[in-house]
Structure 1
Amino acid sequence: MDTLTAIVVTALLSMLPIFELRLALPLAIETFHLHWILAFFITVIFNILVVIPIFLFLDYLHKHFLKFRWYDKSINFVLNKIRNRSKKVEYSLETFGLLTLTLFVALPLPGTGAWTGSLIAWALNLKRNRSFLAIAFGVLIAGLIVLILTLGISGVVNSKF
């Protein structure tokens, strides 16, 4: 596989739910043989960029699905429960919610990435710009963790730039 194809595949994989950078970064380094710095920046940037369309898509999808009675009843029930509980701890949510969101996204486990973080921020009605920054920082931390797990600590420290 040529370098351009490897870069495109890496970028696309890092934008997919479940895969995100957790799979794309090791794959780019070990299978596609991209330099770790290039692979790191591609996966982190594209994993962060996917948050914007997710926020927009969730609003659009939610708005159009509300026309269906079954969706309207079920989603409003769930969202009202989530949002009512979040109002009870509104101060804690504003203070610690973004930190918690960052740490959640930073965990390099399946189901804890930018996609799920965006869904949580949307469901809790967190401010978009702050949520975006929290998710972006979480993705950056996750990228560093995955990079260290892929190369090992000595591989990152001793690597030639």
Structure 2
Amino acid sequence: MEPSTLFISILLSLLPISELRGAIPYAYFNGVSLFLAAPLCIFVNALVAPIAYTFLATLHKVFHAHWLWYASFFDRFVAKAQLKVSPKVNKYGYWGILLFVAVPLPVTGAWTGTLGSWILGLDKRKTMMAVFGGVIVSGLIVTSLVALGVGIDSVFIKRI
């Protein structure tokens, strides 16, 4: 295992498109044990909510005011996030955020869940807890799928 593999896995955990569904399989198939890859990627992906809130409270305001291309891109992304998150939040509250983040599909991760909560004006602390719970569930789902996809015996015996 090379240090660059862990660095790329960490980066994938932070990116809105890949998050855990890209990071954990990437780490595993590049020689990292699931015992290391899953907790590391889950921890890093859990940092998305505080990172997103910090960005939205500071740099976002500056970028939105001065860069037209950024405002256009961000406003489209916000509209999509609001359409996806709002029905779940209206129906299930913070459990809806947790479930939304827990589903390891494109556009249903920590970034979109946090952004949707911010758009809807939900409590920051409760949102972070819901996103963290969703990240844990998502990480367990992705790890299980990787383990089942390559055979549980090879994951736990050969990679340790």
Using the size of structure 1 for normalisation, the TM-score is: 0.76
Larger Rg: 1
Spell out structure 1 runs of 4+ moving beyond 4 A: 65-68
Q: Distance in 1 between matches of 2:132 and 2:5?
A: 23
Matched, 1:134 2:109: no
Q: Which residue of 2 aligns with 1:12?
A: 11
Q: Which residue of structure 1 aligns with residue 38 of structure 2?
A: 40
One-letter amino acid matched to 2:11: L
**Separation in 1, partners of 2:20, 2:64:** 32
Q: Provide the secondary structure at the position in 1 that maps to 2:106.
A: coil
Q: Is it true that 1:159 corresponds to 2:156 in the alignment?
A: yes
Query: Greater shift after overlay, 4-13 or 108-117?
Result: 4-13
Distance 1:65 1:9, change over 3 A: closer
Which aligned pairs between 1:1-161 and structure 2 lie closer than 5 A?
A: 2=2, 4-30=3-29, 32-64=30-62, 67=65, 93=90, 96-152=92-148, 155=152, 159-160=156-157
Describe the shift of the 1:126–1:39 C-alpha distance in structure 2 as closer, same or farther (beyond 3 A): same
Distance 2:65 2:122 in 1: 24
Q: Distance in 2 between matches of 1:29 and 1:66?
A: 38
- In structure 1, give the amino acid aligned to 2:107: G
> What is the letter of the counterpart of residue 23 of structure 1?
G
- Say which SS state the counterpart of residue 93 (structure 2) adopts: helix
Percent of aligned pairs sharing the same letter: 37
How far apart in 1 are the matches of 2:152 and 2:109? 25
Q: State the Cα RMSD in Å.
A: 2.8
Q: Report Cα offsets for 1:59-108 as digits up to 9, x if no partner.
A: 2245336657x96xxx6xx89xx7xxx8xxxxx85x93110000000001
What runs of 5+ residues in structure 1 fail to find an aligned partner? Answer: 87-91
Q: Which runs of 5+ in 2 are unaligned?
A: none
